[in-house]
Amino acid sequence: MQAAQQIDWLERTRRNMAAGASDMVDSIARIDVARYTDPARLAREQDLIFRRHPMAVSFSSKLAHPGDVVTHDLLGIPILLTRDREGRLNAFLNVCRHRGAKLVWQREQCGQRSLVCPYHAWTYDLVGRLRGIPHEEGFTQLDRATHGLARLQVAEAFGIVFVVPQPGEDYDFDGFFTTLRDDLDSFGLGSHVLYDEREIGIAGNWKLVVEGGLETYHVRQAHRATIAPMFADNVAVADRLGRHARLYFTKRNAAELQGQPLEGKSVRDYGNPLYYIFPNLVILVQPDHATVMAVFPQGTDTCIVQGGALIPEPPQNDKARLHWDRNVKIFWDALDEDFQMAQAIQPGFRSGANSHVTFGRFEQGCIWFHEEMDRVLDSGQSKTQN
């Protein structure tokens, strides 16, 4: 985050702390609870949002060396990532071009020189080219050049690997990340390494889990047993960044900013900057590392969270491991409270008690989240109808 942006955030934080208030939008918003229970709505989200936008599917440090291979299956589409012998990152559909078998079954491999289908042993290189066909005399009319692996658009940013799951033309990743890249690059996340990766199943709609990171209103009550004592009650700074958002979870020590010059001070010392990346990714920047959470729908009432910590370097000794274990535990313990809340809300939606959800003026992150989804879904529907 640039120095001018940090000063702006700290100035707004100081003002909000003095007033005991938060940034707010002009009006409340109401949405129908069917958004969380309707299978047709979920199908449209998966088609128009999760298939056609960049998805965080892995971490750069898991593909740090030539021959590293990672698979990802949480989008309902088998995805395969490789670091080829030239050091380039590649993404493909994890599907053999012979009979459609899943090509790589392991979640992670290293030191690979080729990819061999477990069904008939068709072999591909790490760039996706078809290199070997057993008993090739049976395929004399086959054009190898058109039977390479189906390529997906891929990019690395902030230590995370993003893939557009639907094959197609070049994707404008720079345009997608334009309002985020300067901030997140300034925290050095691109050179950080993954620590304590986790995958957690939740009996709740995916949007409930994302919403838990988009407002500070719930912290005092929902997190009273974990992180609430560290944070000011519902004092936040929030910026809309196109389809994305940037929020500041303000710590109690931000009261020290009153009457102090702000030049040279770091936002990491007085709160946690949180970045929401459309549609399902949250990056929480902490004093010496960041934590990452991506949410993948598995049904109207179920989802899977995949995430972990990005730390400056692999721990070199037990003392360093203990430090990171303690820090990461705080993150996951707080998230577990959010997950439990989502799992309690979902049956309530099914009960018929409420016809709608109401978001307050200081829950603007949730409002923006739904507005951006509506914009994409409405645009996709109109194109289909035309």
| pLDDT (0 to 100) of residue 365 | 97
| pLDDT (0 to 100) of residue 386 | 28
The residues pairing with 238 across neighbouring beta strands, listed in sequence order, are 247
| pLDDT (0 to 100) of residue 45 | 97
Q: What whole-number distance in Å separates Cα of residue 82 and Cα of residue 19?
A: 51
The residues pairing with 116 across neighbouring beta strands, listed in sequence order, are 123
pLDDT > 50? residue 382: no
Q: Which domains does the chain have, with CATH numbers?
A: 3-52+192-385 (3.90.380.10), 55-170 (2.102.10.10)
pLDDT > 90? residue 380: no
| Each residue's pLDDT tens digit, 2-48 | 888 899 999 999 999 999 889 999 999 999 999 999 999 999 999 99
| pLDDT (0 to 100) of residue 64 | 96
CB hemisphere CA count around 380 (13 angstroms): 18
| pLDDT (0 to 100) of residue 195 | 97
The chain-wide mean pLDDT, for the chain, equals 94
Mean of pLDDT values over 220-246: 94
| pLDDT (0 to 100) of residue 384 | 36
What per-residue string of b and e applies to 214-230 under the rule 16 or more CB within 10 Å gives b? bbbbbbeebbeebbbee
0.85 exceeded by pTM: yes
3-state SS string over 64-94? CCCCCEEEECCCCCCEEEEECCCCCEEEEEC
| pLDDT (0 to 100) of residue 153 | 97
- Report yes or no: 159 and 195 within 8 Å, Cβ to Cβ: no
**Encoding tokens for residue 313?**
């370097």
Confidence of residue 316 (pLDDT cuts 50, 70, 90): very high
pLDDT > 90? residue 164: yes
Mean of pLDDT values over 262-290: 95
- Report yes or no: 273 and 59 within 8 Å, Cβ to Cβ: no
Mean of pLDDT values over 94-101: 97
| pLDDT (0 to 100) of residue 202 | 98
Q: Tell the residue number behind the tokens 């404008």, with chain if given.
A: 172
Mean of pLDDT values over 298-319: 97
Helix (H/G/I), strand (E/B), else coil: 97: coil
pLDDT > 50? residue 266: yes
**Encoding tokens for residue 113?**
């020189």
pLDDT > 50? residue 131: yes
144-153, 176-185, 188-197, 301-310 — which is least confidently predicted? 176-185
| Each residue's pLDDT tens digit, 167-218 | 988 899 999 998 888 889 999 999 999 999 999 999 999 999 999 999 999 9
Q: What whole-number distance in Å separates Cα of residue 84 and Cα of residue 102?
A: 20
Pick from 26, 118, 33, 107: which is nearest to 72 by CA? 107
